[in-house]
Structure 1
Amino acid sequence: MIPCKPTLQRLTLLFLSIFVLSAVTVSAQDGKTLFVSKCQSCHAPDMKTSSTGPALGGVEDRWPDKQKLHEWIRNNKALIASGYPYAVEISKFSPTSMDLFTTITDPEIDAILAYIDQKFKEVPGGDKKGGSGDEGKESNQNAVIFGVISLILALIAFILMYVNSNLKKLSDDAEGIDRPEPVPFYRNKVYLAIFAIVLFIVGGFFVSKGMIGLNRQTGYAPKQPIYYSHKVHAGINQINCLYCHGNAWESKTAAIPSVNVCMNCHKTIQTYSKGPKLYDNEGMEINGTAEIAKLYEYAGFDPKKPDAWDPSKAKPIEWVKIHNLPDHVYFNHSQHIRVGNVQCQTCHGDITGMDVVHQASELSMGWCVNCHRQTKVNFNYSDSSGNQFYSIYQKFHDDIKSGKMDSVSVKDIGGLECQKCHY
């Protein structure tokens, strides 16, 4: 039967709606990746609070001209120099200048703005790390409910089998049929086989699930010898990550700063009095001045005799490492931070908002591979911009000119090859 015209119109409208919603979801997902890699180092991920930069929620409504907003994101200095009033007004918000993103495209900016709008409109109280905080609880509740229902159904099945066996015995007795006594449950090969198969499936599921999560340590936040707040240092005081972890710019490891690096500031900053209250994971208030005193013990520093301090007598602080990768995995910080322009927050979460640092990402192979699939490289699209190293990829240049490609991601330059991380 051929559907009538109104029915066809409804079906067409339904498919168009699904397509549009799918496109919005994909755009928002791409926008999240771009936001984390380019914006989150200075802007709060909840879009409602201010960090180094202003709160981004409702940013499109605040700008009189969307095209000027695009120009601001791409090159704010040029827009300020042009004398555009709103740009000049925003530049007074913070003494820290916004980074330039001269190679970012209009579709990428629109994706970021769509993600900002989506996050800003989420239900208040949601998880600021991206997504509703009830998702994990709801998933666990669903798993428990499913398990309980499965056990009840299995119990009902065994009861019905037992009832069926008894009814059959009564029927045989009534008809005078002499049948042997039924085999006890614990000696019945069929029951034992079913029990073994169920045990194998359930046990295999939980063992596999446990192995998949082995050493991922998401949420891991060990107690450190000295309470150190990244929120106070990197967030409120805006100390650049590379000041303490300068190796991330030059070498494979980010490294942990020596006591002398801490003392560059704390030789003069001897008390904690003007910052917000500090709390540990248990909610206990921390005395910041007492934590600075612990630093002095490691440094061998007497605040009453600052000029008598001998840095050579300092002892290393035994920090507990939080982020660990397996020995068979190669990861180079400089390749990501310096060459790839990857922000620290991409892997370490909202580090500028953490008092007690925890592992925010699972750092699994799948997590890394997905990042390589989505992240665009700083490709040399012209002779004046981009990483000049990529000029050797002539095929990509030809494909971009012909319209076959609009951008180059990490996967296109070998980011999914096994030997890149395992050799």
Structure 2
Amino acid sequence: MLILCASIVIPFSSVKAADSAKGKALFQTNCASCHNVHKKLTGPALAGVADRWPDKKLLHQWIHNSASVLATGDKYANDLFNEYNKTAMTSFPSLSNDEIDDILEYVKVEGGKPQGPKVVDQPEGAPDKGNDNSLLFGIITLILAVVALILMQINSNLNKLAGDKEGVPTPDPVPFYKNKAYLALIILVLFMVGGYLTIQGAVGLGRQKDYMPEQPIFYSHKVHAGINQINCLYCHAGAEKSKHAMIPSENICMNCHKAIKEYSGPELTTAEGKKVNGTAEIAKLYDYVGWDPEAGKYTKPGRPIEWTKIHNLPDHVYFNHSQHVVAGQQQCQTCHGAITEMDEVHQFADLSMGWCINCHRTTKVQFADNNYYSIFEKLHQDIKDKKIDSVTVEMVGGTECQKCHY
């Protein structure tokens, strides 16, 4: 009897429970660009997806390779394929069945939650715009300086009156505007303040911290990257592959907005407090690309959206996004601030040389599992083994075009 019980318990105990937390990370990496749990995007809404498939193994096969399921003639799969204009689903052969189960568990948990806008917490380290009291301190300092000068003038008059009463001859106090000491002090202060402002102006020439231009379409990063959790790299694909992060092309916007025709999120307002009609902004996108939402097709030639560039660096400055994002493992918020909280994007940092250098002084290099540094280790070892007697510039990439021509 004990042997029989053990034979029953052991197989069931080996079954791995699906992990919703792991599923969320996998969903954001692999699925979120086309799917939402509650909303129809490029692909169908995924809430209840496991219940819609007659066989879980068939669902696994569909995710691994949708074409193989379509070839079997399965009615539900073919109906789904035809519903989305015969657009094949991206295959994910690298996902294991356990990982797919984790994703399905996340979809099940998330699908059971009531719909509504997600409240995004303020990221740690984000600037507090309400605590800059520099102007107040400057005004108070100026008032105190004026009061001090008035008190000094009153003190001189009182000394004169006291001296006259006691019969001690006291010269008349020199008027403020004729007092050479006061005038010299004022000139010195003005010279110092003027010099400071001149230097600051020269140092800050060309910088545009907090620059927030009005864009042709009101695009809210808070809604897209914050509430809807669209990965930054979905739109700015170049950030991990090239020097430039790239402004996304209109077709990337239309991947979602062919299906999302109306805005139903939280109220949008400009920096001046003016309300924004989100649905009207989507209509502007349609007008730019020539899309007719009623007909569901492009009906006229599109034209480029003339976005205003916000983050600008001098021509002599070299900055590579992929080097910082991939090798440096920096998050977007390091340079762009709390981007997931911005309805209208503004320049968070001054992007000065000092700001960059301070970051380089404190950021630790990731030596572990970094193939770049293994090249130098090999060269050092080759010299020790007397395989080579020296290292040329070419050996460390000196003949690569981008070393000089970037």
Range into which the TM-score falls when normalised by the shorter chain: 0.5 to 0.7
Q: Is the 8 A contact 1:234 1:241 kept in 2?
A: yes
Cα root mean square deviation, aligned = 4.1
How far 1:294 sits from its partner (Å)?
0.5
Q: Is the 8 A contact 1:259 1:315 kept in 2?
A: no
State percent identity of aligned pairs.
50
1:136 and 2:136 aligned: no
Q: Is the 8 A contact 1:259 1:314 kept in 2?
A: no
Residue of structure 1 aligned with 2:189, choices 198, 204, 211: 198
Written as runs of structure 1 = structure 2, the 5 A alignment for 1:41-190 is 88=19, 90-91=21-22, 95-96=26-27, 130=125, 133=128, 136-138=131-133, 140-161=135-156, 163-164=158-159, 170=164, 174=167, 186=177, 189-190=180-181
How far 1:244 sits from its partner (Å)?
1.9
How far 1:254 sits from its partner (Å)?
1.8
Structure 2 gaps of 5+ residues are 1-13, 30-120, 382-402
1:258 paired residue number: 249
Q: Is the 8 A contact 2:157 2:173 kept in 1?
A: no
1:404 paired residue number: none
How far 1:293 sits from its partner (Å)?
0.8
How far 1:165 sits from its partner (Å)?
6.3
1:350 and 2:345 aligned: no
1:388 and 2:376 aligned: no
* Alignment CA distance shift 1:350-1:191 (3 Å): closer
2:274 paired residue number: 284
* Alignment CA distance shift 1:352-1:96 (3 Å): farther
Q: Is the 8 A contact 1:245 1:254 kept in 2?
A: yes
Residue of structure 2 aligned with 1:225, choices 188, 213, 216: 216
How far 1:321 sits from its partner (Å)?
1.9
* Alignment CA distance shift 1:83-1:363 (3 Å): farther
How far 1:216 sits from its partner (Å)?
4.2
Q: Which amino acid aligns with 1:148?
A: I
Written as runs of structure 1 = structure 2, the 5 A alignment for 1:244-255 is 244-255=235-246
* SS state at 2:292 partner: coil
Aligned equivalents of 1:396, 1:159: Cα separation in 2: 79
1:371 and 2:350 aligned: no
Q: Which amino acid aligns with 2:271?
A: N
* SS state at 1:315 partner: coil
Q: Is the 8 A contact 1:267 1:303 kept in 2?
A: yes
* Alignment CA distance shift 1:396-1:218 (3 Å): farther
Written as runs of structure 1 = structure 2, the 5 A alignment for 1:331-342 is 331-342=319-330
Aligned equivalents of 2:246, 2:283: Cα separation in 1: 23
Aligned equivalents of 1:373, 1:84: Cα separation in 2: 45
Q: Is the 8 A contact 2:240 2:322 kept in 1?
A: yes
How far 1:225 sits from its partner (Å)?
1.1
Q: Is the 8 A contact 2:153 2:176 kept in 1?
A: no
Q: Is the 8 A contact 2:263 2:279 kept in 1?
A: yes
Aligned equivalents of 1:222, 1:252: Cα separation in 2: 24
2:285 paired residue number: 295
Aligned equivalents of 1:144, 1:184: Cα separation in 2: 25
Aligned equivalents of 1:395, 1:136: Cα separation in 2: 53
Aligned equivalents of 1:97, 1:258: Cα separation in 2: 21
Q: Which amino acid aligns with 1:352?
A: T
How far 1:226 sits from its partner (Å)?
0.5
* SS state at 2:364 partner: coil
Q: Which amino acid aligns with 1:227?
A: F
Q: Which amino acid aligns with 2:270?
A: D
Q: Which amino acid aligns with 2:149?
A: A
Aligned equivalents of 1:290, 1:269: Cα separation in 2: 12
* Alignment CA distance shift 1:186-1:276 (3 Å): closer
How far 1:97 sits from its partner (Å)?
7.0
- Number of residue pairs matched by the alignment: 280
* SS state at 2:346 partner: coil
User: TM-score scaled by structure 1?
Assistant: 0.54
2:305 paired residue number: 317
* SS state at 1:225 partner: coil
How far 1:371 sits from its partner (Å)?
1.0
Q: Is the 8 A contact 2:269 2:275 kept in 1?
A: yes
1:55 paired residue number: none
* SS state at 1:91 partner: helix
Residue of structure 2 aligned with 1:361, choices 349, 354, 358: 349
CA deviations 1:100-119 (Å, max 9, x no partner) are: xxxxxxxxxxxxxxxxxxxx
Q: Is the 8 A contact 1:378 1:387 kept in 2?
A: no
Q: Is the 8 A contact 1:127 1:133 kept in 2?
A: no
1:240 and 2:228 aligned: no
Q: Find the structure with the greater CA-based Rg.
A: 2
Q: Is the 8 A contact 2:126 2:337 kept in 1?
A: no
How far 1:209 sits from its partner (Å)?
4.7
